[in-house]
């Protein structure tokens, strides 16, 4: 049977097409589908900043709000030299669907600034970030109750700390000022586990996938994660943590890592931490002295034979031009929109199982939700119950010793008497959220024969929840 192809579309059009495919399986009142898909508002700003050499540069940026069916709206701030309003709108829409899938009570938003962070020192980055923050706050596109940014490509805890401090300076009367952004340093109101949250979420979704033999068979695979060959595109924050956790804790063999300056390939597996350290020091994979072959064409790595392909870089990496040559039976979207709609159609026809971005990479917003709650409640997780848990564990260990007449081994006693701290609670909550989201999607896939892939099932879950909320609001 010949593969059908469609012309490539913009990022936002590609997302809408995927949503349209799911809408065929969702009953909504006339016109509500259009309301759900529409981007509510977009702020475009341009502002000058004086640089250290005395020159002025005008920066251009956006903040898009896709849906306010839940408040606040939530979504990262991206710093990149090549970013557009269409990209921001597409990412904002994906955030709406992610939050619904994960049962996080936020609407979707996204922001971006056209900038190459590598061209500016810390002092300039701070000045630029604070000025961008003022634009967002003054136009009511940033607040703890209305619109909460987070880190994304090109930003991190440092930028979030600057934004939070600037918001506090502009709104000193807001006692919840720390909740104006998430992804902050722990010492500035952040939460433990946020930095690696998206990568951890990828791991938890894959673990859940391999707990279901029928799903594994759907991808023409067998067994568990141990020994599976994985190709990772992009060893940034998400790709690095996902690859590190899966290789070190689950026995996955990372056979290739794709970066901007080429790919590393090692059939016996790469040491992810060593590659990461090399990239941090050298800016790319070139010159890595480990057991790997280096090839300059990184995109060719997407076509390597493997069990799991993990694109964790940019959108539109797998398109009509290379989808037919992808040889991985299981594709896990750790990035936002790495597969275009047209490529998705080709891969579906070929029987490739895709775990979609709207599920796989929502770990960041889940832990951002925990951080936001922590900021608004003004108390760290674990403070109320940790010592109580330790006391009850001690009582249980003592009871075991009395009943058996034997001493409880020291390692077991330590496990029994350890009260959950903030990091343990965050990981537990993230694991539970990712597993339940996967199971909800899987239920649609199994019980509704017309829905034949995980992406469509994920959007069906999201659309039904969002539609119900709109109807309850009287829309």
Average pLDDT over residues 211-227: 95
Q: How many domains does the chain have?
A: 2
Q: Tell whether 246 is covered by a domain.
A: yes
Residue closest to 242 by CA, chosen among 355, 363, 344, 160 = 363
The arithmetic mean of pLDDT across residues 336-361, rounded, is 95
pLDDT greater than 80 at residue 7 = no
Q: Which residues contact 239 (CB under 8 A, 6 or more apart)?
A: 199, 232, 233, 310, 312, 313, 334
Residue 359 falls inside a structural domain:
yes
- Out of 121-135, 277-291, 336-350, pick the least confident: 277-291
Question: Would you give the distance in Å from CA 8 to the centre of its chain?
Answer: 24
Pairing status of strand 308-311 against strand 229-233: parallel
Listed residues 168, 188, 208: the one ending a domain: 188
Mean pLDDT for 415-435 is: 88
C-alpha span between 301 and 442 (Å, rounded): 30
Looking up residue 305, the CATH number of its domain turns out to be 3.40.50.720
**Residue spans of alpha helices (H) in 352-421:** 357-360, 363-377, 386-404, 410-417
Classify residue 247: in a domain, yes or no.
yes
Alpha helical stretches, state H, 39-185: 85-101, 122-138, 157-170
Tokens 């109320």 correspond to what residue? 384
Residues 207, 162 share a domain? no
Is 184 found in the same domain as 196?
Answer: no
User: What is the domain-level CATH number for residue 118?
Assistant: 3.40.50.10860
The answer to whether residue 395 is domain-embedded is no
Whether residues 109 and 230 share a domain: the answer is no
pLDDT-above-70 percentage for the chain: 97
Pair (308, 447) in one structural domain: yes
Cβ atoms 129, 115 nearer than 8 A: no
For residue range 81-103, list pLDDT tens digits in order: 999 999 999 999 999 999 999 99
pLDDT over 80 at 211, yes or no? yes
CA-wise closest residue to 387 among 345, 343, 417: 417
pLDDT at position 410, please? 84
User: Among 139-148, 345-354, 377-386, which stretch is predicted with the lowest mean pLDDT?
Assistant: 377-386
What's the CA gap between 256 and 384, in Å, rounded? Answer: 45
Give percent of the chain with pLDDT exceeding 90.
80
For residue 64, the SS3 value is strand
pTM: 0.90
Cis peptide before 72 (omega within 30 of 0): yes
Q: Residue for token digits 């029994």?
A: 416
Kindly report, residue by residue over 443-460, the tens digit of the pLDDT: 999 999 999 999 999 999
Where among 140, 168, 188 does a domain terminate?
A: 188
What are the tens digits of pLDDT across the range 43-82? 999 999 999 999 999 999 999 999 999 999 999 999 999 9
Q: Please check whether residue 10 lies inside any domain of the structure.
A: no
> Is pLDDT of 5 > 70?
no
Mean pLDDT of 240-252: 96
Residue for token digits 């990184």? 298
Same domain, 164 and 227: no
Q: What one-character DSSP code corresponds to residue 247? A: H
- Our CA dihedral for 95, 164, 370, 147, rounded to 10 degrees, sits at -40
Of the residues 132, 162, 188, which one is the last residue of a structural domain? Answer: 188
- Helix (H) / strand (E) element for 261: namely none
Q: Are residues 119 and 197 in the same domain?
A: no
Residue 145's Cβ-side half-sphere holds a number of Cα atoms within 13 Å equal to 4
Q: Which domain holds residue 124?
A: 39-188
pLDDT of 218 > 90? The answer is: yes
Using DSSP's 3-state secondary structure scheme, residue 3 falls into coil
330 located within any domain: yes
97 is written with which tokens? 């669907």
- pLDDT of amino acid 380: 83
pLDDT band at 121 (very low <50, low <70, confident <90, very high): very high
Q: How confident is the model at residue 292 (pLDDT cuts 50, 70, 90)?
A: confident
Burial 53-91 (b: 16+ CB within 10 A, else e): eeeeeebebbbbbbbbbbebbbbbbbbbeebebebbbbb
Residue 2 clears pLDDT 60, i.e. is over it: no
Flag the least confident range among 1-10, 195-204, 323-332.
1-10
Q: CA 20 → CA 24, 33, 51, 332, distances in Å?
A: 7, 9, 46, 21
Which residues are the active-site residues? 110
Asked if the structure places residue 393 within a domain, the reply is: no
Sheet strands (E) in 192-345: 229-233, 253-259, 262-265, 293-295, 308-311, 330-332
Mean pLDDT, the chain, rounded, equals 92
For residue 210, give both structure tokens: 């391999």
pLDDT level of residue 474 (50, 70, 90 thresholds):
low
- Do 97 and 60 share a structural domain? yes
Residues 416-420, mean pLDDT to the nearest whole number: 75
pLDDT at 150 over 90: yes
Q: Nearest-CA neighbor of 338 among 104, 71, 18?
A: 18
Residues 76 and 124 in one domain: yes
* Cα→Cα distances 350→158, 320, 347, Å: 43, 13, 5
Same domain for 181 and 195?
A: no
Whether 178 has a pLDDT exceeding 90, the answer reads yes
Predicted confidence at residue 398, as pLDDT, reads 82
Q: What pLDDT, on a 0 to 100 scale, did the predictor assign at position 108?
A: 96
Asked if residue 173 and residue 100 are part of one domain, the reply reads yes
383-392 long-range Cβ contacts below 8 angstroms, 24+ apart: 385/419, 385/420, 386/419, 386/420, 386/421, 387/419, 388/419, 389/418, 389/419, 389/420, 390/417, 390/418, 390/419
What average pLDDT score do residues 139-151 get? 96
Residue 462 CA to residue 468 CA, distance in Å, equals: 10
Report pLDDT digits (tens) over 368-383.
999 999 999 998 887 7
Q: What is the C-alpha separation between 326 and 441, in angstroms, rounded? A: 25
Are both 70 and 112 inside the same structural domain? yes
Give the sheet arrangement for strand 262-265, strand by strand.
Answer: 293-295, 262-265, 253-259, 229-233, 308-311, 330-332, 353-355
Cα–Cα distance list, 38 to 15, 222, 462 (Å): 12, 41, 15
DSSP letter at 443? H
User: Is 463 inside any structural domain?
Assistant: yes
Answer yes or no: do 221 and 167 share one domain.
Answer: no
């Amino acid at each position: 049977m010949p593969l059908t192809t469609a012309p490539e579309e913009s990022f936002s059009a590609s997302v809408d097409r995927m949503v349209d495919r799911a809408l065929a399986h969702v009953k909504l009142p006339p016109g509500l589908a259009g309301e759900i898909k529409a981007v509510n508002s977009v702020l475009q700003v341009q502002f000058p900043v004086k640089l250290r050499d005395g020159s002025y540069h005008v920066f251009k940026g956006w903040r898009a709000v896709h849906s306010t069916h839940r408040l606040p709206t939530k979504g990262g701030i991206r710093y990149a030299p090549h970013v557009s309003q269409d990209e921001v709108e597409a990412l904002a829409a994906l955030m709406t669907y992610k939050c619904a899938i994960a049962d996080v009570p936020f609407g979707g938003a996204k922001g971006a600034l056209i900038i190459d962070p590598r061209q500016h020192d810390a002092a300039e980055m701070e000045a630029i970030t604070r000025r961008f923050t003022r634009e967002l706050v003054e136009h009511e596109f940033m607040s703890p109750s209305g619109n909460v940014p987070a880190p994304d490509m090109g930003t991190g805890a440092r930028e979030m700390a600057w934004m939070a401090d600037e918001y506090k300076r502009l709104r000193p009367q807001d006692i919840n000022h720390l909740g104006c952004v998430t992804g902050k340093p722990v010492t500035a109101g952040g939460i433990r586990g946020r930095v690696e949250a998206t990568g951890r979420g990828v791991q938890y979704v894959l673990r859940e996938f391999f707990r279901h033999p029928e799903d594994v068979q759907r991808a023409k695979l067998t067994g568990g994660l141990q020994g599976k060959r994985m190709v990772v595109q992009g060893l940034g924050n998400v790709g690095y943590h996902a690859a590190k956790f899966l290789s070190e804790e689950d026995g996955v063999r990372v056979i290739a890592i794709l970066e901007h300056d080429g790919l590393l390939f090692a059939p016996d597996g790469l040491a992810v931490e060593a590659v990461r350290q090399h990239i941090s020091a050298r800016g790319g994979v070139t010159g890595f002295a480990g057991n790997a072959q280096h090839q300059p064409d990184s995109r060719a790595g997407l076509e390597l034979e493997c069990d799991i392909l993990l694109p964790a870089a940019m959108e539109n990496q797998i398109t009509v031009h290379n989808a037919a040559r992808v040889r991985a039976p299981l594709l896990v979207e750790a990035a936002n929109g790495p597969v275009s709609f047209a490529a998705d159609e080709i891969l579906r026809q070929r029987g490739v199982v895709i775990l979609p971005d709207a599920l796989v990479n929502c770990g960041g917003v889940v832990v951002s939700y925990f951080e936001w709650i922590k900021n608004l409640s003004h108390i760290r997780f674990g403070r109320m119950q940790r010592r109580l848990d330790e006391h009850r564990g001690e009582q249980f260990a003592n009871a075991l010793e009395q009943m058996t007449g034997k001493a409880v081994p020291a390692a077991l006693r330590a496990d029994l008497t350890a009260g959950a701290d903030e990091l343990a609670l965050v990981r537990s909550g993230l694991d539970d959220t990712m597993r339940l989201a996967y199971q909800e999607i899987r239920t649609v896939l199994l019980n509704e024969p017309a829905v034949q892939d995980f992406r469509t099932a994920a959007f069906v879950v999201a659309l039904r929840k969002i539609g119900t909320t709109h109807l309850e609001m009287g829309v």
